[in-house]
Structure 1
Amino acid sequence: MQTLSSPPAAAPEAAFDTKITRRRTRPVKVGDVTIGGSAPVVVQSMINEDTLDVEAAVAAIQRLHEQGCEIVRVTVPSMAHARALADIRTRLLQDYQPVPLVADVHHNGMKIALEVAKHVDKVRINPGLYVFEKPTSDRTEYTPEEFAKIGTKIRETLEPLVISLRDQGKAMRIGVNHGSLAERMLFTYGDTPEGMVESALEFIRICESLEFYNLVISLKASRVPVMLAAYRLMVHRMDELGMDYPLHLGVTEAGDGDYGRIKSTAGIATLLAAGIGDTIRVSLTEAPEKEIPVCYSILQALGLRKTMVEYVACPSCGRTLFNLEDVLHKVRSATSHLTGLDIAVMGCIVNGPGEMADADYGYVGKQAGAIALYRGREEIKRVPEAQGVEELINLIKADGRWVDP
């Protein structure tokens, strides 16, 4: 017997919105860059150079910044490294320009953090390592009293740093890593996203009790499903608690090459598409400068930032009337500096005008040996294929949208 069901309820209009609506977060200043609020998603990376080598560190920071990295992180494993940041900052001001700097502080890092807080704009701490407790092999549980005792020690150790950053108007990133959760969190919550979130919340509450709110939160993991679950749970818990801290997104230890890029994109873009995330870092086992184009490509693909020309190109097929790959390369070489434009290169007329409807300009193979040039949906002229790129440039110039490279 056939049963009838009620028609599905209409989906909310927002479900069909083609524009990503970002989660509302508080703005946090890092030097002259704002993370969160209404600011664009911020791109950052980290130098590989030893911070003690001031000249090499300054050069690396400058390279990254010139590539488009808006915040640069350095590691400070010792007091000497922390003091070197003073020289690095001075050299940047003298020889280049101010660059927002973040210092990474790890094992038992209170003294190092207090020193480096004088010289950088943000300090990143890892809750699992900031007060490092050596694991004991014979432990079977943490009693509530033991858990609370360590919590008290964490507060005592964190408080001077919080007060220093608060009074200087600087920021802190509470950066939880799945691979370095504190032992008591592992015993209490397991090796889970819940343990990551509770680790972050413990530090957030200490900061809030001291009236310090310039916080950025991250919950990174090397496995994408864990990373996604941790950030989603963090958002859920913050919503419950009335917190609005911006989130730093990343897949840690993503590797290199295509897979490292795909893995990072799978995690970062999934969350950004849901409106989650205010700053990103793509962590590749490659030169840090290679991370920046991936970040901007993710943001451009999602329509969150316009930092390059958007090229619309068909994959080519038997209908294609010219060497599409070669022509796309020529068009890109001639126009890639025209940031903000959308340019389509289509192999034939079958899908061309429809698929490139949102482009500013179109280059379409309409008949053998001839190219049709479009402005938006309107065909402007047909030209010999050999003159196609030159005439596209002339069309852009005629519209007053050309700038010299």
Structure 2
Amino acid sequence: MKYTTTQTKVGDILIGGDSPIVIQSMTTTTTTDVDATVDEAIRIHKAGAKLVRITAQGVKEAEALKDIKEKLKERGYNFPISADIHFNYKAAYTAAKYVDKVRINPGNFIKHGKTESFEEGVDKIKERFIPLLDLLKENHVALRIGVNHGSLSERMMVKYGDTPKGIVASCMEYLNICREENFHNLVISIKSSNTVLMIKAVRLLVTEMRKADMAYPLHLGVTEAGEGEDGRLKSAVGTGTLLNQGIGDTIRVSLTEDPECEPPVAQKLIDFTEKGDLSENLKLDFEPRKILKRGDFSNANAPRVLVDARGKKSFSTEDLGYKHGEKGIRACDYVIVEKYSDDLPKTLKQIIPIEEYEEGKGFALYNEGNYQKTSETEDLFFIEVDVVESLDMVNKLNNDDSIVLIAKLNENKPFQKIENFFKVLNNLNLQLPVVVNLQSTADSLEDLQIQAAANLGNSFVDGLASGILLTNSNLPLSHVRETAFGVLQASRARTTKTEFISCPGCGRTLFSLQEVTAKVKAHFNHLNHLKIGVMGCIVNGPGEMGDAHYGYVGAGPGKINLYKGTEVMKRNIPSGNAIEALEELIKEHGDWVEPNES
């Protein structure tokens, strides 16, 4: 059962309650270019978005929203429009006259003084915010209170630090004012490029709203998720986990791609998740499940990656992540094969079904049908168990066994089943390592990425699973293995490649984001130990790069600021020289590795 929220009317659609999840996206055009913005908004709508957001940097851009809305109607479109406001409360006042929803960011709606008290800050907010609420009431316009981790206000940072508590407090402060003013036509969001932080903060927000007897509709999204595989996996881990727990009424998948690419991915994310039961006590602590050390499965090690090569007529070591005989950073840790092979690399651990297992050659694999405990042994072995059908057998296991469980999941509600399986293990105090095994029939790589990340990501975010195994007979073995590593990276459980944090772009973007992101990735993608941010402007730039090592941020037309963490190191670098300047900055701090050495 989905977490039941109130309903908010946005134009002619309803968000929240028992309404279907609403997909939305955002234009990237300059708002004052009315025709281009109208064309792009229509493309987004035709791609599946029920609501389109448009940035309004200032009053001039907000005034352009009137013409955009009118031209859309002239062309036969009446889908709702949302204005995206940062830094300029007057732009919000203007936009409230023309659009169906206004989004404000508490982190920059007004500028707070460094010396003002916290209470003085509340009074200052009310001075600017209440007139906006009055305008919204007058024009029957909805409001989104959209808090971004990357632009948390300084007063919140001082009081709470860079924590989920600060993000939630920023949102609740504005919600309390809305309640005082009897304004309830609301949608709220808490976003971050960090999937774990985003999940933590949204869970905490739901908990705090419950305490305050609030249930406003929730907009979900992982901001600055990136493009391609990265964007899909991170969005699926963050948003998919929450959707599976019954949280979320409207979603956006933020991709550094053309905006019309976003709605189809969002629809797949909805299709691959279930509106699960929301537990009364959401997990707010993120202590990993304590497991007994079994081989290299331990709390001290990152989750292991397994590949199942049974049934493959032929496969190469390249399929397993080896290149020219050398083990790559994304080589699997274990491979399940029908018989032990002397031809496979010695660094690759082989798992062999018990019928073909020879002592001293690899590790034995049992299943529920052929496993019988005969004697105590210190040798590591694996047991395949069905997370539903094998519970009677699991009840007979104990912590003395040198076992790693491979928990098999089919595509019918896998998230709920694996969550329940871990609850059973917890109730039994069974501390054996678990490899989660999704048996997928997806026939495209994108489908596998979204399905696996949305349904298995939480097992690693919450520190429950010790390994991952994806099985799929429709896709190349290398794609399946890469997706497994991608799920771990998106869940922040195991880093095996450079992480690029890049925004989707909007009317504020100061350079060709897709082109520049591609160039940055091509130049720095061998730096597996680094996170690098590529941001179109300063709205979220420095903040969303809070845990990135380096950042490339638009500072003005043709100008780039370069960051080390959240500190700007080089200002107003000509864009033509910025990639080389970023390389020099990385070298200056001793983090550069030559491509052939990484």
Give the TM-score, by structure 1 length: 0.68
- Summarize the Cα distance change of 1:57–1:314 in structure 2 as closer, same or farther, 3 Å threshold: closer
Name the CA distance, whole Å, in 2 between partners of 1:249 and 1:372: 43
- Summarize the Cα distance change of 1:288–1:252 in structure 2 as closer, same or farther, 3 Å threshold: same
Question: Match of 2:431?
Answer: 244
- Summarize the Cα distance change of 1:345–1:58 in structure 2 as closer, same or farther, 3 Å threshold: closer
Q: Does 1:35 align with 2:306?
A: no
2:321–2:332 contact (8 Å) kept in structure 1: no
2:383–2:403 contact (8 Å) kept in structure 1: yes
Q: 1:234-383 alignment to 2 at 5 Å?
A: 234-256=421-443, 257-284=445-472, 285-381=474-570, 382-383=572-573
Question: Match of 1:73?
Answer: 336
Query: Pick from 165, 173, 181: which aligns with 2:382?
Result: 173
Name the CA distance, whole Å, in 2 between partners of 1:339 and 1:265: 21
Question: Match of 2:391?
Answer: 197
Name the CA distance, whole Å, in 2 between partners of 1:26 and 1:323: 50
Question: Match of 1:122?
Answer: 363
Name the CA distance, whole Å, in 2 between partners of 1:340 and 1:59: 22
- Summarize the Cα distance change of 1:119–1:305 in structure 2 as closer, same or farther, 3 Å threshold: same
1:273–1:302 contact (8 Å) kept in structure 2: yes
SS of the residue 2:510 aligns to: coil
SS of the residue 1:116 aligns to: coil
- Summarize the Cα distance change of 1:14–1:199 in structure 2 as closer, same or farther, 3 Å threshold: closer
- Summarize the Cα distance change of 1:364–1:222 in structure 2 as closer, same or farther, 3 Å threshold: same
Q: Does 1:25 align with 2:266?
A: no
1:252 Cα shift? 0.8
- Summarize the Cα distance change of 1:354–1:241 in structure 2 as closer, same or farther, 3 Å threshold: closer
- Supply the RMSD in Å over aligned alpha carbons: 2.9
**1:8 partner letter:** K
1:126–1:177 contact (8 Å) kept in structure 2: no
- Summarize the Cα distance change of 1:348–1:237 in structure 2 as closer, same or farther, 3 Å threshold: closer
- Summarize the Cα distance change of 1:314–1:61 in structure 2 as closer, same or farther, 3 Å threshold: closer
Q: Does 1:233 align with 2:420?
A: yes
Give the TM-score, by structure 2 length: 0.48
1:15 Cα shift? 5.3
Name the CA distance, whole Å, in 2 between partners of 1:353 and 1:57: 43
Name the CA distance, whole Å, in 2 between partners of 1:375 and 1:369: 20
1:62 Cα shift? 7.0
Name the CA distance, whole Å, in 2 between partners of 1:311 and 1:325: 12
Question: Match of 2:590?
Answer: 400
Name the CA distance, whole Å, in 2 between partners of 1:292 and 1:50: 14
Query: Cα deviation per residue 1:372-396 (whole Å; 9 max; x = unaligned)?
Result: 1112222222211111111111111
**2:454 partner letter:** A
SS of the residue 1:176 aligns to: strand
Query: Pick from 73, 93, 101: which aligns with 2:350?
Result: 101
1:299 Cα shift? 1.7
1:224–1:267 contact (8 Å) kept in structure 2: no
1:120 Cα shift? 3.5
Q: Which has the higher helix share?
A: 1
1:232 Cα shift? 3.1
Matched residue pairs, number?
311
2:500–2:532 contact (8 Å) kept in structure 1: yes
- Summarize the Cα distance change of 1:58–1:329 in structure 2 as closer, same or farther, 3 Å threshold: closer
1:196 Cα shift? 3.0
SS of the residue 1:306 aligns to: coil
2:310–2:336 contact (8 Å) kept in structure 1: no
Unpaired stretches in structure 2, ≥5 consecutive residues: 1-209, 213-280
1:175–1:218 contact (8 Å) kept in structure 2: yes
Name the CA distance, whole Å, in 1 between partners of 2:578 and 2:517: 11
**2:455 partner letter:** G
Unpaired stretches in structure 1, ≥5 consecutive residues: 1-6, 76-81, 106-111, 131-153, 179-192
- Summarize the Cα distance change of 1:58–1:369 in structure 2 as closer, same or farther, 3 Å threshold: closer
Name the CA distance, whole Å, in 2 between partners of 1:335 and 1:353: 19
Q: Does 1:387 align with 2:596?
A: no
**2:564 partner letter:** R
2:334–2:350 contact (8 Å) kept in structure 1: yes
Query: Cα deviation per residue 1:311-341 (whole Å; 9 max; x = unaligned)?
Result: 1111101111111011111111111111221
